[in-house]
Amino acid sequence: MNSLVNKHILLGVTGGIAAYKSADLARRLRDAGAQVRVVMTRGATEFITPLTMQAVSGNPVHLHLLDPQAEAGMGHIALARWADAVLVAPASANFMAKLAHGLADDLLSTVCLACDAPIALAPAMNRQMWAHPATQANRHTLEARGVRLFGPGEGEQACGEVGLGRMTEPQHLVEMTAGLFEIGSLSGKQVMVTAGPTREALDAVRYISNRSSGKMGYAIAAAAVEAGATVTLVSGPVTASIVAGIPAHVSRIDVESAAQMYEAVMSRVSQCDIFIGAAAVADYRPQRVAASKIKKTHADINLALERTPDILASVAALRSTGQDAPFTVGFAAETDDLEAHAQAKRAAKALDMIAANWVGQPGTGFDSDENALTLFWEGGGMQLPQSSKEKLARQLIAIIAERVHVRN
């Protein structure tokens, strides 16, 4: 169940005895790879302490709407934007009524109103309260608006009665929350991604490289894991913070030079269904690598360079030799005439898809957190407007999954 990896889950806790299970739920969500932030209503704090929820979620708990300090940090709008999904567990009858009627008189109801991510409720209440026509009407209103109801279940209740109204068990809630994201699009697929720059040695201490941070390739690897794929990431040298962002489920092979990247890719590519070349591979390397440090005894110096192997083209070319080639996706960084150059590159390298981006645009490109892509494939294309590299990576993976299914 990789679809919760790196997902931002906003866990709302309302006032009900089942709130004691919310701590277990938060822990299980984190175990599944999600980042969890908790918003508690005043009623919830009567049943479980914010300190407990802070400890299990690993984040400060959010309690108040009109708290200037909280609003200066992660206020209600920031929380709503942060969430990839909202799960309210337990959801009391009162909270369902508030949400159904659009009230926004505390932090949780306000965040729900301000949020365009999927919202799921795990109702928990006495069976009579659940069966009451008011609650049932609210439930239908919410469902008609796309709010998902996870439960309630049947069984013995805290009040001693037996019937419908028990909160769905935390493990099951985790699975249902994962289901909100499961496009299932790449489940069972083997994906290989290259990322980062390469370094081409000049001598024992110097090298030629480029400004790629690896952020885009790492985000693509994470998005492929989220979509259910088994992912191998062949990475050039990137910073520790980029490496730290990658889900544990990705198997990473570190390389330095284009030749090493070529070797790492070509020795494993026969097992993969999809290859995404996001690395900024050096096109040239020094013809000779000096064994020791080159001394500055000359006024000037000439470097003789030779071409590196084109990894992406080599992967795509497997098909023409009758071997099994993966669905092959390349990147093209262009400074002018984006479509013509990208299409020409796609044809020249026999790629299934190319993702082109402008270089030198403010706020996008190599080191930035955002990018914008234009995709081209045989007979079609699509614009992915500027947004975070994580969001773009998820969109790209969803489109690749669609095209892979079309091809098969």
Nearer to ligand C5P, 106 or 310 (CB): 310
Smallest distance, ligand C5P to C-beta of residue 264, A: 12
Report the residue number, 32 or 279, with the smaller CB distance to ligand C5P.
Answer: 279
Q: Which tokens hold the place of 192? A: 């290989």
Round to the nearest angstrom and report the end-to-end CA distance of the chain.
25
Give 35's contacts (C-beta < 8 A, 6+ positions apart).
6, 7, 8, 9, 59
CB of 352 closer than 8 Å to CB of 403:
yes
Residues 6+ apart with CB under 8 A from 16: 43, 44, 47, 90, 92, 124, 125, 167
Instruction: Between 331 and 376, name the residue whose CB sits nearer to ligand C5P.
Output: 331
Q: Which amino acid is at 179?
A: G
- The torsion angles phi and psi of 257, rounded to 5 degrees, stand at -95, 165
Q: Is 186 helix (H, G, I), strand (E, B) or coil?
A: coil
Q: Shortest gap between Cβ of 268 and ligand C5P (angstroms)? A: 15
Token representation of residue 227:
């979509």
Please report how close the Cβ of residue 247 comes to ligand C5P at its closest, in angstroms: 22
Closest separation in Å from C-beta 404 to ligand C5P = 17
By the criterion CB under 6 A, which residues form the site for ligand C5P? 194, 258, 277, 279, 281, 283, 308, 310-312, 330-332, 345
| Minimum gap (Å) between residue 275 Cβ and ligand C5P | 9
Contact between residue 354 and residue 346 where contact means Cβ atoms under 8 Å apart: yes
Which stretch of DSSP H or E encloses residue 195?
strand 190-195
Which token pair is 8? 């931002």
115 a catalytic residue? no
How far is the C-alpha of 118 from the C-alpha of 112, rounded, in Å?
9
Contacts (Cβ under 8 Å, ≥6 apart) of 138: 96, 97, 99, 100, 101
Burial of residue 12, with CB atoms counted within 10 A of its CB: 0-12 exposed, 13-18 middle, 19 or more buried: buried
269 closest CA partner among 335, 220, 318 = 318
Q: Which is nearer to ligand C5P, 332 or 404 (CB)?
A: 332
Q: What is the closest distance, in whole angstroms, from the C-beta atom of residue 157 to ligand C5P in the complex?
A: 58
Catalytic residue among 112, 115, 159, 272: 159
For residues 18 and 332, which CB has a smaller minimum distance to ligand C5P in the complex?
332
**C-beta closer to ligand C5P: residue 73 or 360:** 360
Catalytically active residues are: 159
